[in-house]
Amino acid sequence: MFAERLVKIALAGSVAAALLAGQTAAQTQHEQPYAGLQAREIKALSREQMDDLSAGRGMGLALAAELNGYPGPRHVLEFAAQLALTDEQRASVQRLFDSMREEAIPLGKQLLSAEKDLNRAFADRTINPERLQAITAAIGEKQGQLRNSHLKYHLATAALLNPDQLRRYNELRGYMAGSPDAPSGSKSMPPHAGMQESIHGHMMGSMHGQ
């Protein structure tokens, strides 16, 4: 009986110690959320984010389109078979994807360069209010241009797909759950026919003019 009580006491002590250790780790994480980030090349960007900018990837910049029924060209190409894209659709989406990368990669690299300038100015202690304003304005401008670039190709891609393909895309991406902004009974509403023609014509004209 005495041995059984000792086992219970030991178990209780182990549980208490584990709980205390967890609380201590959580408190440390709360108090030091940026610990380790000081080793980054650019403090405000992870390695993954830097790689995404250099490669022209979206970094979530087009979520306003993606999650409201306007798919991007990269994922549409990935799901070409499941979406039953026609040869013409596939070729058109591929052109959009290639054009998007041609725009996004230089913009991403310019944004990366501006972020490096900001980081260097703080690291070298050469920052001042005037330089801060100039660099952050440049960053904001490049961020806006990069986001616009990704969003407009989502807009153009959606214009190439029919309603069934748009619904199937949302299923494949797991977006069919309800949203407070979604129309009743449907997660996504495709652009109407006139808008589709306008978007597609505008984008094709822009691409040919490059």
* Cα(206)–Cα(199) distance, integer angstroms: 11
Query: Can you tell me whether residue 189 is helix, strand or coil?
Result: coil
In this model, does residue 132 exceed pLDDT 80?
yes
Check residue 176 and give its pLDDT. Answer: 83
Chain position carrying tokens 């490049």:
142
Alpha helices (H) in the chain, listed in sequence order = 2-31, 47-55, 63-66, 73-78, 87-123, 129-158, 163-173, 193-208
Tell me the domain boundaries of the chain.
47-175+192-210
Other beta carbons less than 10 A from residue 129's beta carbon:
7
Check residue 120 and give its pLDDT. Answer: 97
Q: Among the listed ranges 74-78, 102-106, 113-117, 178-182, which one has the minimum average pLDDT value? A: 178-182
Tens of pLDDT, residues 70-100: 999 999 999 999 999 999 999 999 999 999 9
Tens of pLDDT, residues 179-204: 555 443 344 455 555 555 556 565 65
